[in-house]
Chain A
Amino acid sequence: MLPAVLRTTAARLTAMFMVLFALCAGVLVFYMSTLSVSMLTAQTQETIAEEMQSLARAYQRGSLPALVRFVETRSRQPGANLYLLADVNGRILSGNVDSIEPGVLEADGWTPRPFAYRRYGDRGSAVSPPPVEGAEIQATGHQAVALVLRLPNQMILLVGRDLGEPQIVRDIVNRSLILAFGMMGIGAAVIWFFVGRRALRRIDTVSEASRRIMGGDLTGRLPVNGSGDEFDRLSENLNVMLARIARLNDGLKQVSDNIAHDLKTPLTRLRNRAEVALAGDLEEKDYREALEATISESDQLIRTFNAILMISRLEAGYSSEQTVPVDLARTVADVVELYEPVAEELGVLIEASVQGDATITANRELVAQALSNIVDNAIKYSAGSGEAPRVLVSLRRSDDGVAVEVADNGPGIPEDDHDRATERFVRLERSRSQPGSGLGLSLAKAVMEFHRGRLELSGRNPGLSVKMIFREDSRINEQR
């Protein structure tokens, strides 16, 4: 296992960049050395060609003796080029070249490739014997390029230049490579030290904070140092997530309390009824009645549980797979039609008012369920209050979306209680006597949040207005 400092992203990134830079440097050095070699060669060739021209001119002016003199003078200068004058058979007559690789003198023009040679005065193992072409020439390791010219009298003139030892070029390349790599290594180490250490420190503080949170302290938050860097952004997002988790957790806690409290009553009632029925000496009819009451009480419990389940599923989040185009006008008409007989029975007038139609992307069942819960409440609470209880369900387009409003002229809800009214199991004082689970509005609210819309309660005088507001972008544009 690598030590922690090497297992960091910073270390990996540094290593990766090092390799990359090394490759770049290698390519660069190689390119530059090739370029300078070819420039050097071009320069050499130019010098040689000039030399050859002046030699050729000397030959034209004073024939062979002049040429020989010229060659001898040039040959003796220090650091001179290579000069060689040979006869038709390749025997060296004059110049500063002692021996030469065979075959070089056979063709006119530039030698096709660098060749090996030995200069006079290079005291090697085989020196004194007259020009003998052979293996020992190679020993000196000198390489040259040359221009060969066949003179009109069939003699051969060669002007060349030593290429120097190739080792020198290689040395330069190696030195620059070592320098480049060394600097890169130092740079990488510095970068790794600062970036890696800093990142590690930040991550350690985050890890420390998250360990505390995992330990059960849900109020803990990750540190944000205000620099706005990626760690800050990550911490901010995680903090938002933590806040949501904490909120859900609180909700859960509150719901379990409420469930325990609100379900205890019907369950106790259920149990007592069964107990009384068992204890008494009843007729079959009474048993039957007790059982039927038990069943209807259980049905109410099941209903409550289903509503709870549904709310938590809705809170789990929105998914577009569950939505279809929904004609809200149709839904309003359906729900009003569904509730009309109930309303009539309770002496409430229910009406629908649809201005234009609006088709939105939504879950049809959920929207109908939410609307029917709201209408149900409106009918229940306005019944028996005032002169002419009335519930109006209207569909309207507004600037920021589509609103379905259910307005009644019942007693309404005090302004202060509007928020609480949509909380789970909250049944405001006046509604304690009414049947119902206390989940109707919470479910409607959950449905609206599932659709990324909102549920708005507002007071009327008298009465209450509940608006389901769908966002503009959930509307499907249609040609009208």
Chain B
Amino acid sequence: MKILLIEDDREAAEYLQKALSEAGHNAHVAHDGDTGYQLALEGSYDVLVVDRMLPQRDGLSVISGLRARDIKTPVLILSALGEVDDRVTGLRAGGDDYLTKPYAFTELLARVEVLERRGSPREVETVYRVGDLELDRLSHTVKRAGNEIPLQPREFRLLEYLMRHAGQVVTRTMLLENVWDYHFDPQTNVIDVHVSRLRSKIEKGYETPVLHTVRGAGYMLKAG
């Protein structure tokens, strides 16, 4: 995946670039808003990671500039600003996701990978299949190896999100944001308990695990 990092903190950018390339991605770096904007205009990037506070041209202006030129590359905004309201401002300017510093790299990586697949055919499929697990979004039914598994509405939405991003790491905050629609940090492992409940329902009695825990990062749904 080709990623453009627009980040003025050289050390942080270098670290991110290295970490992303270790994760198998090709990241370019721009250290100021103008250069970043030019690169984003020309280059064919899959995802942009834009810091909010940049020299010469701030991050939000870069994003709204790109959107005005009809460049629809998904954007992850990085911000050192607090979380009371900046998130809304960032998303309104045309960002697709928002991450507050300090963040864990795994969180950034997971979000970037999810952003890349945004708009993939998966989004509109009505039936998701992972191995022998099957989720029908229209009839709200879940089957494993042909046997229906009854789920609570929240569990269904949780599984739906995990299946839509099958093969990708999904973090706890991503789950809270997308399944519960809250953007705060729950103190304890509330999400973990929800996931383990779901796991016991879809894995109990079956040989192969499908819902995997990625330590230090989150969860991944994949066959086998």
Contacts and interface: CB of A to CB of B under 8 A. Distances in A.
Given A302-B103, A322-B85, A341 B184 contact: no
Given A292-B216, A321-B85, A302 B102 contact: yes
Contacts of A292: 215-216
A295 B171 CA distance: 14
Contacts of B64: none
B182 A334 contact: yes
B182 A306 contact: no
A380 B182 contact: no
A338 B190 contact: yes
A373 B102 contact: no
Contacts of B194: 338, 341
Interface in B151-207: 154, 180, 182-190, 193-194, 197
A295 B215 CA distance: 9
Given A313-B84, A334-B180, A341-B197, A306 B185 contact: yes
Contacts of B216: 292, 295-296, 299
A382 to B, nearest CB: 14
Interface residues of B, number: 25
A369 B185 contact: yes
Given A295-B104, A314-B84, A368 B193 contact: no
A376 interface: yes
Given A292-B216, A342-B189, A363 B184 contact: no
B83 A306 contact: yes
B178 to A, nearest CB: 14
A314 B83 CA distance: 10
Contacts of A321: 85
A355 interface: no
A440 to B, nearest CB: 6
B184 A369 contact: yes
Nearest to B198: A341
A309 B182 contact: no
A319 interface: yes
Nearest to A299: B104
A339 interface: yes
B21 interface: no
A368 B184 contact: yes
Contacts of B35: none
A436 interface: yes
B32 to A, nearest CB: 25
A310 B82 contact: yes
Interface string B40-70: 0000000000000000000000000000000
A345 B83 contact: no
Contacts of B182: 334, 338, 365, 368-369
Interface string A365-388: 110110011001000100000000
A-B CB proximity, top 8 nearest: A369-B184, A313-B82, A341-B193, A322-B85, A295-B216, A376-B187, A342-B193, A302-B102
16 contacts: A295-B216, A299-B216, A302-B102, A302-B103, A309-B83, A310-B84, A314-B84, A334-B182, A338-B180, A339-B190, A342-B188, A368-B182, A369-B184, A369-B185, A376-B188, A435-B188
Given A303-B185, A435-B188, 14 more contacts: A292-B216, A299-B104, A299-B216, A309-B82, A310-B82, A322-B85, A334-B182, A338-B186, A365-B83, A365-B183, A368-B184, A373-B187, A376-B186, A376-B187
